[in-house]
Amino acid sequence: MQKEIFEQPESVFNTMRGRVNFETNTELLGGLKDHLKEIRRCRRLILIGCGTSYHAAVATRQVLEELTELPVMVELASDFLDRNTPVFRDDVCFFISQSGETADTLLALRYRGRHQHRGRLHLARDRLRLRRPRQRGSEIGVASAKKIKEMTYMHSEGILAGELKHGPLALVDKQMPVIMVIMKDPCFAKCQNALQQVTARQGF
């Protein structure tokens, strides 16, 4: 597990290999280029996954919204099913699974199929149940590092910086480790403010 964490820089580089051209500042997403017309005509994008795949979708949402100027929904597969979430013919779904065998994600795929709605998958290996119903070629994915809680057997929670003041901040004290990832994007100042609030409560 520690080995996977230290391999992350190389994994990110390999993920971009053949997809990002830094000389021309362009990118090529081979799995999507054949479906660009459908995506441009859709009314919204829906990203569906479980666990780490769900968090990958959350991390992707802002980029997709900026690039497509379309509303992007991120759904936990189990909740997506429990709510009988309405889907429409002009919605485009992305079903995300590192293993390709996630039961709830497979059920969500079948649910989508009953609503005759477009779908597209991004998968890791050839003989995966999630790939077969779509009759698509394989995509090569890189497994992300395991969650901190799985390695340390301590509970850890990932939240948006803007949600800190809606409850979690009350738990912060000098015995509460807080890890913040702050990007130089339009939310930089707000994240800095959240960091100051953590520091004021002696969080570390």
Of 20-24, 29-33, 139-143, 153-157, which range is least confident?
Answer: 139-143
The answer to whether residues 203 and 175 touch, using CB atoms and an 8 Å cutoff, is no
pLDDT of residue 122: 44
Assess whether pLDDT exceeds 70 at residue 142. no
Greatest alpha-carbon pair distance for the chain in Å reads 54
Assess whether pLDDT exceeds 80 at residue 17. yes
pLDDT of residue 186: 81
How confident is residue 116, by pLDDT bands cut at 50, 70 and 90?
A: low
The answer to whether residues 32 and 77 touch, using CB atoms and an 8 Å cutoff, is no
Closest to 105 in 3D by CA, of 115, 119, 88, 116: 119
CA–CA distance, 66 with 46 (Å, rounded to integer)? 15
What three-state secondary structure class fits 95?
strand
> What are the domain boundaries of the chain?
2-134, 157-200
Of 66-70, 72-76, 169-173, which range is least confident?
Answer: 66-70
What is the mean predicted confidence (pLDDT) over 17-46?
Answer: 80
From 3.40.50.10490, 2.40.50.100, 3.40.50.1100, 3.40.50.880, which CATH number describes the 2-134 domain?
3.40.50.10490
pLDDT of residue 141: 28
Q: Between these two residues, 167 and 47, which has the higher pLDDT value? A: 47
How confident is residue 48, by pLDDT bands cut at 50, 70 and 90?
A: very high
pLDDT of residue 144: 34
pLDDT of residue 138: 36
Assess whether pLDDT exceeds 60 at residue 70. yes
Burial class for 179, CB neighbours closer than 10 Å (0-12, 13-18, 19+) = exposed
CA–CA distance, 32 with 80 (Å, rounded to integer)? 24
* Residue range 149-193, pLDDT digits in tens: 777 777 777 777 877 877 888 889 988 888 888 888 888 888 899
What is the mean predicted confidence (pLDDT) over 114-143?
Answer: 44
Assess whether pLDDT exceeds 80 at residue 43. yes
Average pLDDT along the chain: 77
